């Protein structure tokens, strides 16, 4: 049967991997190809690169990284961050990305999602949804943009359905309440979205231990789990995560 996926996420700024810096092992610092290869060797099912470059001058640097990684690592690569138009999607795919993740632009201009999906196929269009729990609203979770700073008024579950209907082939759901907390994924949010759409969802935000990965799949109904810090800082390897998931009855590669 189909395996549940583990996806390490690498944050890239100005052409360097920043979360990949392990202060105990500086030899890995900033070398995206080496980090990508290490995760590949550990059995990562895919890799996600998130370009958090602030200045548009340096945004092209991600293309170099993707080109280098794609020449040496033969697993699916997703790239997100700063995608504003269909042309950005094309550039990233040409550099060697297999999927492109669209976040703020999807809210500002949903047509970009529809156009990119119809031009390149749904299989390579991921919509990233940053959601936060809200009070005094008809909905429980709301879509936020600009790294969680701007509220949109959109119901995250309805938004997920809309994005899938426009052609998103996969949804990356990040709980802004959980991101960085290490207390686990927001499983009710993920479950609500997973039940509402037919496309796969990736759970993101909040992983602190391996049980959280299991819960993300069993309770949250996620098809894949994304994590950054538990892998980057050497707390766990991808193998350890897979062994743990397998012990708990989850199909892994």
Active-site amino acid positions: 11, 130
Tokens of 83: 């995608």
Q: Which of residues 4-33 bind other proteins (CB under 8 A)?
A: 4-5
CA distance 79 to 85: 14
Task: Pick one of 47, 63, 79, 95: the residue that binds other proteins (CB under 8 A).
Answer: 95
DSSP strand pairing (5-13 vs 224-227) = parallel
In the complex, the smallest distance separating the C-beta of residue 238 from other proteins, rounded to whole angstroms, is 12
Please provide residue 165's backbone torsions phi and psi, each rounded to the nearest 5 degrees.
-70, -25
Q: Which of residues 187-246 bind other proteins (CB under 8 A)?
A: 194-195, 198-201, 221, 223-224
In the complex, the smallest distance separating the C-beta of residue 77 from other proteins, rounded to whole angstroms, is 9
Considering only CA atoms, which of 230, 174, 175, 222 is closest in space to residue 199?
222
DSSP 3-state of 55: coil
Tokens of 99: 């999927």
**Intra-chain end-to-end CA distance of the chain, in Å:** 10
In the complex, the smallest distance separating the C-beta of residue 55 from other proteins, rounded to whole angstroms, is 27
Stretch that binds other proteins, among 1-9, 17-25, 80-88, 136-144 (CB under 8 A): 1-9
Nearer to other proteins, 3 or 33 (CB): 3
Q: Which residues bind other proteins (CB under 8 A)?
A: 1-5, 40, 45, 70-72, 74-76, 93-98, 118-124, 169-170, 194-195, 198-201, 221, 223-224, 253
């Amino acid at each position: 049967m189909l395996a549940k996926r583990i996806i390490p996420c690498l944050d890239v700024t100005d052409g360097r991997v920043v979360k990949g810096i392990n202060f105990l092992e500086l030899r890995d610092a900033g070398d995206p190809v080496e980090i990508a290869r290490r995760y590949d060797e550990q059995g990562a099912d895919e890799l996600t690169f998130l370009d958090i470059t602030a200045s548009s001058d340096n945004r092209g640097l991600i293309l170099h990284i993707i080109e280098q990684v794609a020449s040496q690592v033969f697993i699916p690569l997703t790239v997100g961050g700063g995608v504003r138009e269909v042309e950005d999607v094309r550039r990233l795919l040409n550099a060697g990305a297999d999927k492109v993740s669209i976040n703020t632009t999807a809210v500002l201009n949903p047509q970009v999602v529809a156009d990119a999906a119809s031009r390149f196929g749904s299989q390579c269009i991921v919509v990233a949804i940053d959601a936060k729990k809200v009070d005094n609203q008809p909905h429980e979770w709301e879509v936020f943009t600009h790294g969680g700073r701007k509220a949109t008024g959109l119901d995250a579950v309805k938004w997920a359905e809309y994005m899938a209907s426009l052609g998103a082939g996969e949804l990356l759901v990040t709980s802004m309440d959980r991101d960085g907390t290490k207390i686990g994924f927001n499983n009710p949010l993920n479950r609500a979205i997973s039940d509402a759409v037919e496309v796969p969802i990736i759970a993101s935000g909040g992983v602190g231990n391996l049980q959280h990965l299991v819960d993300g799949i069993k309770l949250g109904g996620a098809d894949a789990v994304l994590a950054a810090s538990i892998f980057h800082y050497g707390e766990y390897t991808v193998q350890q995560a897979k062994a743990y998931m397998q012990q708990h009855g989850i199909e892994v590669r």
